Amino acid sequence: MDELDAAIIDLVQTDARQSNRELARRLGIAPSTCLERVRALTRRGVIRGYHAEIDLVALNRGVQAFIAVQVRPLNRQVIDAFKEAVGGMPEVLAVFVLAGGDDFQLHVAVQDLDHLHSFLVDRLSGRREVVGFRSSVIYERVHNPVLAPLPAP
């Protein structure tokens, strides 16, 4: 990864809809060079896709929370089954498998606090493998939309 690759990554994250010609212009390189560099970054798996950022409030999902979950027995079958089950729930934005005191961290987005309570009580606590959970309502999110490569050690 050189400076040009890092600049491409920066610009693509800032605006993934810009044309190759515009990207090349902003970088001060030929469009053919730019296209080849973007393709190489994609082949290497550095660029994995292009996504639209959606406003959750506009989708009537204005309340977000993190839910720390403990499951038992703690084995691959239970972990995989739980991960698949909650990953398919419409309220769940992301599932993280953890090491430490909690086994999972769920990021959920729902309409309101009543729906969050219903999700916790009716959907999550009703699962046989769930032995405990804690929820933390998210008041605000500060997000860095542009990732840069870190220096090698």
Q: Which domain holds residue 12?
A: 3-43
Asked whether residue 25 falls in the same domain as residue 77, the answer is no
- What local confidence, expressed as pLDDT, does residue 118 receive? 98
- The answer to the question of residue 112 being in a domain is yes
Please indicate, yes or no, whether the overall pTM of this predicted structure exceeds 0.75: yes
- CATH number, domain of 114, equals 3.30.70.920
Does residue 1 surpass a pLDDT of 90?
no
What digits encode the pLDDT tens for the residues 14-34?
899 999 999 999 999 999 999
- What local confidence, expressed as pLDDT, does residue 135 receive? 98
Does residue 97 surpass a pLDDT of 90?
yes
How would DSSP label each residue in the chain? --HHHHHHHHHHHH-TTS-HHHHHHHHTS-HHHHHHHHHHHHHTTSS--------TGGGT--EEEEEEEEESS-SHHHHHHHHHHHHTSTTEEEEEE-SSS-SEEEEEEESSHHHHHHIIIIIITTSTTEEEEEEEEE----------PPPP-
Average pLDDT over residues 1-10: 93
What digits encode the pLDDT tens for the residues 48-90?
999 888 999 999 999 999 999 999 999 999 999 999 999 999 9
- The answer to the question of residue 146 being in a domain is no
